[in-house]
Structures are given as C-alpha cells and as structure tokens.
Amino acid sequence: MWVDRILDQTRAELDRDAIRRRGDFSGELTRLVDLLRADPDALEILLAEPAVLRFVDAGEPLSAESLLQEAEERALDLLESGQER
C-alpha cells in the first residue's frame, strides 16, 4: 500500500466569545447554549424530547452538559466552516 496524499482539514479553535458577540445565527446559537447552561432544568427538559434523543448515540450515557457541549461544537463547526476567520 502507498500513501497517495494526506489532506489536512484542521482549523483553528473557534473563539466562542467573538462568535457570541456577533448578530448572526452562530452568535444566537452560542447565546442559547449559554442560557441552557445557566438553567439545568430547561436543559433536562430539552434533552428529554424524543426529537433530540434520536440524535444521541445509544452507546455510553452522557451527561446533559456533555451532550450540550458536543451539539454546540458540531453545530458551530458546520456553521463556521465556510466563513473566513
């Protein structure tokens, strides 16, 4: 086997503070995540929704905070991947 090429698709870490200050969808998403972190009861209610649970891997159980963090990271990664930083 020969390696034909290596494609580096890494990017710089996202600056949540800068994103939060923006008036776009990514900024609104980050502010919403902050509100959910401040209200654990609302977060638990949201994560109990069947529409949310179908996106959760049935493997190992994750805490509400880790699920929220993973969702935010994935969403911001997709949203910010096409923008200049």
Instruction: Give per-residue pLDDT as tens, 30-67.
Output: 999 999 899 988 888 887 777 766 666 666 666 778 88
State the amino acid at position 51 in one-letter form.
Answer: A
Mean pLDDT of 12-20: 89
% of residues, the chain, pLDDT over 90: 26
Query: Cα dist. 68→22, 34, 82 in Å?
Result: 20, 10, 23
What's the pLDDT score for residue 29?
94
Report whether pLDDT(74) > 70.
Answer: yes
What's the pLDDT score for residue 34?
94
For the chain, the farthest-separated pair of C-alpha atoms sits apart, in whole angstroms, at 53
% of residues, the chain, pLDDT over 70: 82
Average pLDDT, the chain: 82
What's the pLDDT score for residue 85?
44
Q: For residue 81, what is the DSSP state?
A: T
